[in-house]
């Protein structure tokens, strides 16, 4: 079956711009989580959506937001980009709302200049 | 501060050698998962350990969950270049469902 698909894979933005990243989970998976990965901080949890509702949110500023659609696809948005937002953004899906296995996409590599 | 501390941060060894990666916390975890991430890819789950003291083997990889469920280790026997990657431990603290990740251990196995 198709895995988790993230688009775009790579993008370059400048400070002050905004960006929207997309994630299509594995068919049948209703939970989608987003993580930011940087060399210094590792994987940092952004938020998790389950059945279109945000279940949990990490310690990121309000510039980071997300949503989930009725087909379980999810988007995350970062507004007023800062240099420090440069990172690999990973999306992961799982079937239920418990602590089952996370299936990760390949990520969206964001570079902010 | 990371809820899960991994050590070492980097490990470079020769093919055929053994290695151990550690994952420690002051908190109790319901379970711990180990993931491996290769360059340009997302992390892939290797194993989940659930019971304190549990030992799981996956070919040359041995995973152990501490008796107190606060720590775990990953041991690779006779490492091969294909074992190269970033190894991440992750788990939900007790009474939580949100996964916390360690910072990871970058393993390089030289041919």
B42/A106 CB distance under 8 A? yes
Residues B47, B58 contacting (CB under 8 angstroms): yes
Residue of A42, A103, A107 with shortest CB distance to B103: A42
B49 to chain A nearest CA, in Å? 12
Chain B, residues 67-106, CB within 8 A of chain A, namely: 88, 90, 92, 97-104
| pLDDT attached to residue B1 | 63
* Phi (first) and psi of residue A83, to 5 degrees: -55, -40
Which SS3 state, helix, strand or coil, does residue A85 take? Answer: helix
Q: What are the start-end ranges of the E strands in chain B? A: 5-7, 10-14, 19-24, 32-37, 44-49, 55-58, 61-65, 71-76, 85-91, 100-101, 105-110
Low-confidence stretches of chain B (pLDDT beneath 70): 1
The average confidence (pLDDT) of chain B is 93
| pLDDT attached to residue A66 | 97
| pLDDT attached to residue A39 | 85
Low-confidence stretches of chain A (pLDDT beneath 50): none
A70 to chain B nearest CA, in Å? 22
Decide if B41 touches A, using CB distance below 8 A: yes
| pLDDT attached to residue A1 | 56
């Amino acid at each position: 079956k198709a895995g988790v698909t993230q688009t775009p894979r790579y993008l370059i933005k400048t400070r002050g711009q905004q960006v929207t990243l997309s994630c299509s989970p594995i068919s049948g998976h209703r939970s989608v989580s987003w993580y930011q990965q940087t060399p210094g901080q590792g994987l940092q949890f952004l938020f998790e959506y389950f059945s279109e509702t945000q279940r949990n949110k990490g310690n990121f500023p309000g510039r980071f937001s997300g949503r989930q659609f009725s087909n379980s696809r999810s988007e995350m948005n970062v507004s007023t980009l800062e240099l420090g937002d440069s990172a690999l953004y990973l999306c992961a899906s799982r079937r239920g709302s418990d602590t089952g296995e996370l299936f990760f996409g390949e990520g969206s590599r964001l570079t902010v200049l | 501060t990371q809820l899960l501390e991994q050590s070492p941060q980097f490990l470079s060894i020769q093919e055929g050698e053994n290695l151990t990666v550690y994952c420690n916390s002051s908190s109790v975890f319901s379970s711990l998962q180990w993931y491996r991430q290769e360059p340009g890819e997302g992390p892939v789950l290797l194993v989940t350990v659930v019971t304190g003291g549990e030992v799981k083997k996956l070919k040359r990889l041995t995973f152990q969950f501490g008796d107190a469920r606060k720590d775990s280790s990953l041991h690779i026997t006779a490492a091969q270049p294909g074992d190269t990657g970033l190894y991440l431990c992750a788990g939900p603290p007790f009474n939580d469902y949100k996964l916390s990740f360690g910072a990871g251990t970058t393993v390089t196995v030289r041919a």
